Each structure stands twice: as structure tokens, then as C-alpha cells.
Amino acid sequence: MIWLNNTNARPAGTYVETVSLAGSNWDVYKGWIDAGSGKGWNVFSFVRKSNTNSALFNIKNFTDYMIYTKKWMSNAKFVSSVEFGTEIFGGSGSININKWNVNVQ
């Protein structure tokens, strides 16, 4: 997960370190999502140190960090989908997202 804006939510897992990637500083978290019956998956979260409503970066910067710096995943893995949005964790209000895109090269 790549968090551009954090307002009181906390990512799953444990804080690992702060890194500089894609022109910004990010707090890195590593955790495990338990799906029950011994099943689940790793979750890696990059929380931007300063909130923004707009960003342009290459996701490869983040996957390279996980593969080559931390050895958390194999370089045989690949990005199979990209999702964008928010996770509602409490409160009320509205969300207005008016523009986003993904350029696959």
C-alpha cells in the first residue's frame, strides 16, 4: 500500500524504518493480514511523511526497495493490478476523487 495522505489511520503491521523513495520520505510498515485457518498474506505499507493530494511516481521504486533492499519478495513476482481509493475506518463525511490514472509501460 502506498499512502499519500494519512489522517489518523494506522497501517497494519510494525514500523520498520523511514526511507526516501520517489522524491519523498515514507514510513515503512510490514505486517500480516490474518484470514483465519492459518491463511493470510503479507502487507507492506509506505506512509508519506507529509500529506499530499497529488503525486506522480513510478511504483517500481517501491517494489525495488522490497525486492533488493529488504529481500521481502522475489524479483520473479510482478504487479498484477493497481487499486486506488480510501479505507473508511470511522467517522462520517464524503470523499471526492476527481482524477487519477495509471500508465503501464
CATH number, domain at 102?
2.60.120.180
Cell of 87: 479505507
Q: How far apart are CA 61 and CA 25, in angstroms?
A: 12
Q: How far apart are CA 62 and CA 44, in angstroms?
A: 10
User: Which letter does DSSP use for residue 69 in this model?
Assistant: I
Residue 47: partners with Cβ closer than 8 Å, 6 or more residues away: 3, 6, 11, 26, 27, 28, 29
Q: How far apart are CA 2 and CA 44, in angstroms?
A: 9
- What residue numbers bound the domain in which 6 lies? 1-105
Is the pLDDT score of 104 beyond 90?
Answer: no
Q: How many domains does the chain have?
A: 1
What is residue 21's predicted lDDT score, i.e. its pLDDT?
97
What is residue 49's predicted lDDT score, i.e. its pLDDT?
95
Per-residue pLDDT reduced to its tens digit, 62-73:
999 999 999 999
Do residues 34 and 66 touch, judged by C-beta distance below 8 A? no
